[in-house]
Amino acid sequence: MLPRFRSFYGKVIIFILVALCFVLYLKVQPATEDYLLPSKLQAGRPPAYRTHERERERERSHDKYVDDAENEIRAATQSPYEYSIQLDLQKQQSGLGDDGAAVHLAGAAKTRGDKIYKKIALNEELSEQLSYNRTVGDHRNPLCLQQQYDDPSTLPTASVVIIFYNEPYSVLVRTVHSTLNTCHHQALKEIILVDDGSDNAELGGKLDHYVRTRIHNGKVTILRLKNRLGLIRARLAGARIATGDVLIFLDAHCEANVGWCEPLLQRIKESRTSVLVPIIDVIDANDFQYSTNGYKSFQVGGFQWNGHFDWVNLPDREKKRQSRECKHPREICPAYSPTMAGGLFAMDRRYFWEVGSYDEQMDGWGGENLEMSFRIWQCGGTIETIPCSRVGHIFRDFHPYKFPNDRDTHGINTARMALVWMDEYINIFFLNRPDLKFHPDIGDVTHRVMLRKKLRCKNFDWYLKNIYPEKFVPNKNVNAWGKVKSVNGNLCLDDLLQNNEKPFNLGLYPCGKVLQKSQLFSFTDKRVLRNELSCATVQHSTTPPHRVVMVPCMDNDDYNEQWKYQNHQLIHSNTGMCLDYSGQKSMDDAQVAPCSLSSETQRWAIEHD
């Protein structure tokens, strides 16, 4: 390498580099005056501040000993981090966004906020203007205020584990302050921040300095991982150094309601194999409004056969169990939840390890929450939503970060989960995710299967029957399932993979060679024609066309609309009309027409391999 620099070209390159550095130095120099002019600071930080912050401040510390009147303003002991932190604090406006109110920026701040929002799906500009200690209001059910908990000194202690990767600095710091402000100081043993290899400079020395100088109770520890390990292994690293009785995992973008810790710790004191989830409220990523669905109702966790988590209403079955088994008013009783979302939960620390912590071979992000959910239930624990514990979470519209190697870690992790925990039901999973069936990255799951044996866990069939009987199984309690195929043609019913949030028209498409998810339907014992979440009905209309519409199913097929399937005809009970593709072609909407036994276009087969 060196000999090359002795050459003529080498010297030219070095000359250019030195010249460039000098030009940069000159450009940067005048801006440093901003630090010394409070009036300029009030007007807002120059947009270029972030990128050059460190360099400028390094230069300033060199100037420290220069006999310069301006520099005397700054105490000799102050570090560049200290400056930056003071600027942050000056930017905050006390009272802004208090009680979780929405804040709408104006002028230049709005422009900056909109710009950063487009980039990271979060209004960092606004976050920087909100106090770290802003309040979010008390959204608990009033019944919670009458609850008596044990003296905090006798409750199990909590280690709050928060992992982060390039989290906006102010959002992370607010999460820490919110935790300190809302979790009883005797119950909160420590907060462990795990830096999963962030490269955002602010999250380095500045965060260390902040914790050292602004949080004096010694409860906050920062664990730095050398490489990015992903959510699962980063959480494990945090859990390994935790010393509290209870692990509470939080995302790095949360603000909690008052009194959210005690109900969790009390419940774990009573039942150490209960894994607890607070009610997760929504903090808007743009205006930071804290919102709830009201204190009266909340949802619990479910899942879809493609391996995704979803929210479901608390079934009547569970409400009855609560009334039967819980001595408090039902509304604030622990509610069994078939799964959990995974970001926020509390668990006895020793039980966390006994029951298999996480599958360490899961990479990146995703899938670990269903794995833990099925494992907890099948191996003797419970997952419960605790209504008196509420935590706000910032939900973003898109994920601002890339995952290492751009892999579908959610899918791969979910396939690992399915191989260990779902038994024969894995066929339904792979029917929904054929892309994962032979995915080379799934790896070996032997050690997790051995864990399942060692813990003598129950099977997935038991889980479905006892913990989540509302879950629709496409091939259980059905008369027929598979493709709904025209007998005399190659047209199949097709839902085009539309979700069930609003009604949609059912389509007619060429049948796939193999059964695919969009053409998977069931005709149930209760004579309902449906897919996983939507049920077929007929649009009200006095004149043709009478379209077949898919609407969200009720929890129980007793309440969904019925069809008859006889002589190869699918007859809609309410209208008495038959599914018919007369005069239709591929990509048209599915329709019904008056039944006729001689019609060739009203004959359908429901079949699978």
Choose between 240 and 396: whose C-beta lies nearer to Mn ion.
Answer: 396
What one-character-per-residue DSSP string does 419-458 give? HHH-GGGHHHHHHH-GGGTT-GGG---HHHHHHHHHTT--
Is the Cβ–Cβ distance between 559 and 527 less than 8 Å?
no
Choose between 371 and 557: whose C-beta lies nearer to Mn ion.
Answer: 371
Q: Tell me the closest approach of the beta carbon of residue 299 to Mn ion, in angstroms.
A: 17
Q: Give the three-state DSSP class for 337.
A: coil
Comparing C-alpha atoms, which of 444, 436, 372 is closest to residue 408?
436
- Determine the residue type at 378: Q
Q: Which two tokens stand for residue 29?
A: 């120099």
Q: Tell me the closest approach of the beta carbon of residue 272 to Mn ion, in angstroms.
A: 27
Choose between 205 and 343: whose C-beta lies nearer to Mn ion.
Answer: 343
Is the Cβ–Cβ distance between 581 and 486 less than 8 Å?
yes
Cβ-in-10-Å burial (0-12, 13-18, 19+) of 224 comes to middle
Choose between 343 and 443: whose C-beta lies nearer to Mn ion.
Answer: 343
Comparing C-alpha atoms, which of 95, 93, 99 is closest to residue 257?
99
State the Cα–Cα distance between residues 200 and 206, nearest whole angstrom.
11
Collect all residues with Cβ–Cβ distance below 8 Å to 90 and sequence separation of at least 6.
41, 42
Q: Tell me the closest approach of the beta carbon of residue 274 to Mn ion, in angstroms.
A: 23
Choose between 390 and 433: whose C-beta lies nearer to Mn ion.
Answer: 390
Choose between 173 and 451: whose C-beta lies nearer to Mn ion.
Answer: 173
Choose between 162 and 536: whose C-beta lies nearer to Mn ion.
Answer: 162
Choose between 391 and 551: whose C-beta lies nearer to Mn ion.
Answer: 391
CA distances from 248 to 67, 269, 349, 359, 572 (A): 52, 14, 9, 18, 51
Q: Give the three-state DSSP class for 368.
A: helix
Is the Cβ–Cβ distance between 68 and 108 less than 8 Å?
no
Q: Tell me the closest approach of the beta carbon of residue 393 to Mn ion, in angstroms.
A: 6
State the Cα–Cα distance between residues 522 and 533, nearest whole angstrom.
11
Comparing C-alpha atoms, which of 204, 78, 187, 180 is closest to residue 132?
180
Q: Give the three-state DSSP class for 276.
A: strand
Determine which helix (DSSP H) or strand (DSSP E) holds 52, and give its type and residue range.
helix 49-63
Q: Tell me the closest approach of the beta carbon of residue 403 to Mn ion, in angstroms.
A: 15
Cβ-in-10-Å burial (0-12, 13-18, 19+) of 28 comes to middle
Determine which helix (DSSP H) or strand (DSSP E) holds 572, and give its type and residue range.
strand 569-572
Choose between 343 and 545: whose C-beta lies nearer to Mn ion.
Answer: 343
Choose between 197 and 343: whose C-beta lies nearer to Mn ion.
Answer: 343
Choose between 137 and 343: whose C-beta lies nearer to Mn ion.
Answer: 343
Q: Tell me the closest approach of the beta carbon of residue 412 to Mn ion, in angstroms.
A: 20
Collect all residues with Cβ–Cβ distance below 8 Å to 569 and sequence separation of at least 6.
578, 579, 595, 597, 602, 603, 604
Q: Tell me the closest approach of the beta carbon of residue 171 to Mn ion, in angstroms.
A: 11
Q: Which residues bind Mn ion (CB under 5 A)?
A: 251, 343
Q: Tell me the closest approach of the beta carbon of residue 162 to Mn ion, in angstroms.
A: 11
Q: Tell me the closest approach of the beta carbon of residue 252 to Mn ion, in angstroms.
A: 8
Q: Which two tokens stand for residue 139?
A: 């959204």
The phi, psi pair for 375, rounded to 5°, reads -60, -45
Is the Cβ–Cβ distance between 258 and 182 less than 8 Å?
yes
Q: Give the three-state DSSP class for 246.
A: strand
CA distances from 274 to 41, 379, 557 (A): 51, 12, 31
Choose between 262 and 371: whose C-beta lies nearer to Mn ion.
Answer: 371
State the Cα–Cα distance between residues 587 and 294, nearest whole angstrom.
42
Residue nearest to Mn ion according to CB distances in the complex: 251
Choose between 395 and 565: whose C-beta lies nearer to Mn ion.
Answer: 395
